[in-house]
Structure 1
Amino acid sequence: MDGPGTITWEEFLQDAERFLVVSDRISDGWEFRGDKDIPGQAYLFRRIKCFVPMSDSVIMRNDEEEKEEEEFHVKFQEDPHEAPRSNSLESPFITEHHILWSMSYGVPVLFFNGWRSDFPGINAMSVNEAQTIHDSKLNYMELSQAIHPILGTPFLQLHPCLSQELLQSMSKSKNKLVSWLSCVAPASLNLKIHPEYCKLTYEV
């Protein structure tokens, strides 16, 4: 799809490559995965492990109604680059973020997951839990579970239809991918965007 509020696959790749240069320089952990020669078949990837207080973990209860009412509030380390620390009062929490390009919408799309464990895929977060982390709760039109179009596995997804309006307001940005990501990051398990990336939006 072409037109206002969209970017092409070539623009996505160009913005992503510049994004990765900054990531490598500041050791932020992002990388490209997939086949960049096929539109929509490559994506930006990052996985981070941190530790959260045990009191923030969801406690398994026998009463199903009580279990459904529980909320999961994650408190991340203030510095995402700080080496992880663990003690008896903390439990591991893994987050994974993927930035894809939607051929149907012509916009970037953010897929992400969170696992309350030492291993990805074990004890995954639900949509309800992910919604409680955002200061102003997301509704189901914005955040839902979807099948990853490349991996074919369930992920949480911020719906791409909302991105067109964001991109329309970023017409003067030198890196629309970064401008878009800085807007949607707070809604995706507290994804942090280092200030160094923002320089890409106004530097050629």
Structure 2
Amino acid sequence: MLTRPQFDIACRALVGKYAYTAPSPATTPLKGWSWHEHASINGLGYLSRRTIHTRFSCFGTDDEELYREEYEEQQDESTATAVPDATLVCQQYIVYSATYQVPAFYFTMHDCNGSPLALADIVNTSLFRPSAFDSAELTTFALNIPDRMFPLLSQGDHPTLGTPSWYLHPCESAGAVDELMRELGEAEWTTEEGLVRWIEMWIMVVSTVVELCE
């Protein structure tokens, strides 16, 4: 688990560490984040970045893969308008959960007209890994895993901005990260390096569900 000051240190250091690294499958989930402070209250900072995604709900599996490849070739501004229905803007956030004392992944998803997507549409976008929710039960406001106490994905207000968002429940992330950290073994890290490594492992855990390489 992280304290609030440790979260702040880790996030700021993460931004600095990957600001100038070359994009790659390994670094893309860690790049593009910006640190933001609350306008008037200390201790409510968060990370954010914006990514572009596609919607596959009208396609079969083979068509989805072909469409994804075609879309990725049309990412520049001159051709993006050619597929407006497929262009989805995702605002991603890494915030601090005071309840669970860990980071939490929040996001919003809008179409090219700025309209928010319903959850049934969101789960069929390139934001999530294929088969990530195969065993989940979908409702209007949440995605539930049988026999789990809390929904995997649900709706709530952004802790700092107060705006409606979707978020992954953070209750089991600390245990998963601690297990990964134990596998790394003891290392001669500074305090800051250790905190950055912790949040890198947390992002790796989130990446098992969320496609952060988009």
**Percentage of matched positions with identical amino acids:** 20
> Which one of 168, 183, 203 corresponds to residue 181 of structure 1?
203
Report the Cα distance in structure 2 between the residues aligned to 1:130 and 1:87, rounded to whole angstroms. Answer: 21
- Are positions 1:123 and 2:126 aligned together? no
User: What per-residue deviation string (whole Å, max 9, x for no partner) do you get for residues 155-189 of structure 1?
Assistant: 1100111212223313346311111111213523x
> Which one of 48, 51, 58 corresponds to residue 51 of structure 2?
48
The Cα shift of 1:124 comes to 1.3
Show the counterpart of 1:15: 10
Equivalent residue of 1:149, what SS?
coil
Contact 1:186 1:192 in 2 (8 A): no
The Cα shift of 1:153 comes to 1.2
Report the Cα distance in structure 2 between the residues aligned to 1:155 and 1:75, rounded to whole angstroms. Answer: 26
Equivalent residue of 1:171, what SS?
helix
TM-score normalised over the length of structure 1: 0.66
* Runs (5+) with no aligned partner, structure 1: 1-5, 59-72, 194-204
Equivalent residue of 1:132, what SS?
coil
Contact 2:177 2:205 in 1 (8 A): no
Equivalent residue of 2:7, what SS?
helix
Show the counterpart of 1:168: 178
> Which one of 88, 95, 112 corresponds to residue 82 of structure 2?
88
| AA at the equivalent of 1:192 | C
User: What per-residue deviation string (whole Å, max 9, x for no partner) do you get for residues 4-26 of structure 1?
Assistant: xx111222122212210133214
- Root-mean-square deviation (CA, aligned residues, Å) is 3.1
Contact 1:46 1:96 in 2 (8 A): yes
Change (3 A) 1:187 1:127: farther
TM-score normalised over the length of structure 2: 0.64
Equivalent residue of 2:20, what SS?
helix
Task: Describe how 1:51-200 pairs up with structure 2 within 5 A.
Answer: 52=54, 56=56, 75=68, 83-84=76-77, 85-91=79-85, 92-118=87-113, 122-133=114-125, 134=128, 135-137=131-133, 138=136, 139-140=143-144, 141-172=151-182, 174=194, 175-188=197-210, 190-192=211-213
Equivalent residue of 1:169, what SS?
helix
